[in-house]
Amino acid sequence: MAGIYVHIPFCKKACHYCNFHFSTTHSLLPQMVQAIAQEMELQARLAYIHEPIETIYLGGGTPSLLNHEQLQLLFTQIHRYFTVTPHAEITLEANPDDINHLQLQHWKAVGINRLSIGIQSFQEADLRWMNRAHTATQAVHCVTLAQQAGITNISIDLMYGLPGASNQHWLQNIEQALALQVPHISAYALTVEEKTALHKMIEKGKISPVYDEHQAEQFHLLVHILESNGWYHYEISNFCKPGRHSQHNSNYWKGVHYVGFGPSAHSFNGVSRQWNIANNALYITAIDNNQLPYEIEILTPLQQLNEYIMTSLRTRQGIQFSHISTNFGQPFNEKLLHAVAPFIQQGLVQSTNDGIQLTQRGKFFADGIAAALFQ
């Protein structure tokens, strides 16, 4: 099985913390949708992915900006050129201010059965400094609207470790999320990326800095509360009620193949990775000329091993020695055990029946630990 990712690179507003590829100018939106539809045909000719499609994910940017005709075109192309399994998970990233009764009916009509809603915070003050387009009232109301429309497979995004936000402030966000009875929460530590408005605001002293210790406190608070309420912490940033994990994102961490459409979108088939140019105008021009504007990297066995280390370490299952032995050879397990020993002594990693996994404290240092384990 494989997945499809579609990148819609447009937003109403530029969130102050975001460094993803997007534009707040929508003049190219109609042409972009046509170009993405054309790319699907071009990619299908290359047959980068042969397997049936079991997950589809529309991300961005803000794909909830698309109207019904634009969405219909994209899904018509997907079904024309790919085999989609009958019970595929089909996710749309949506902003709260885009969710209304009519849109929900349109989304259901094209087959969308899961929403990932970018709430970030239920606090009005947070949303203002983030420059989000929605209000705290909309953050709550949109979930109720979706549930009433029959879309109950809902994930909400929350952000912790915000400048000046107390633990009590964060607790209120968690309590509101639980009250909404959604089955999935993705929670991310606020990251201050260079060249973003947030980075400049902190440099000028307009907003308090972000502190790792503060973020770690709120991360552990989140884990404790959700697990105490029966939630499953299946990946560092992702929590779900039993059996309600994101199939699409889980497949990324398992190394399942996927194909991406749209500017900056990535594709992976196990032995190579390719990514489209992150420039809207150049992307459209190339597609209009029947050219795929991508770069490609053939992954060596060692790179494939390191990718496995990086992705699996983020999951609850962790790194499995049997997988490494089968796919890369037993000697790599011995090297890995040697490299991980200091982290086991520090209480950041622990042994399992068939490998190693991060401890709760270690999850906050996942990227650094993975880098140290790379072969």
Q: What is the residue-averaged pLDDT of the chain?
A: 93
Say yes or no: 103 and 240 in one domain.
yes
Residue 343 burial (10 A CB sphere; 0-12, 13-18, 19+): buried
Domain extent for 322 = 300-375
Cis check: omega of the bond before 61, within 30 degrees of 0: yes
In this prediction, residue 111 has a pLDDT band, given cuts at 50, 70 and 90, of very high
What per-residue confidence (pLDDT) applies to 1? 75
Structure tokens at 366: 């996942």
What does the buried/exposed string (b/e) look like for 350-373 if buried means 16 or more CB atoms within 10 Å of the residue's CB?
A: eeeeebbbbeeebbbbbeebbeeb
Within a domain: residue 275?
A: no
Say yes or no: 140 and 36 in one domain.
yes
Within a domain: residue 272?
A: no
Domain count, the chain: 2
Query: CATH number, domain at 335?
Result: 1.10.10.920
User: At 58, which helix (H) or strand (E)?
Assistant: strand 53-60
Say yes or no: 212 and 320 in one domain.
no
Which tens digit of pLDDT belongs to each residue from 290-324? 999 999 999 999 999 999 999 999 999 999 999 99
- The torsion angle over the Cα atoms of residues 85, 86, 89 and 91, rounded to 10 degrees, is 100
Q: Are 32 and 262 in contact (CB under 8 A)?
A: yes
How far apart are the C-alpha atoms of 78 and 84, rounded to whole Å? 8
Q: Is the overall model pTM greater than 0.85, yes or no?
A: yes
Of 94, 118, 104, 110, nearest to 149 (Cα)? 104
Of 276, 259, 271, nearest to 298 (Cα)? 271
| Least confident piece of the model among 123-137, 202-216, 222-236 | 202-216
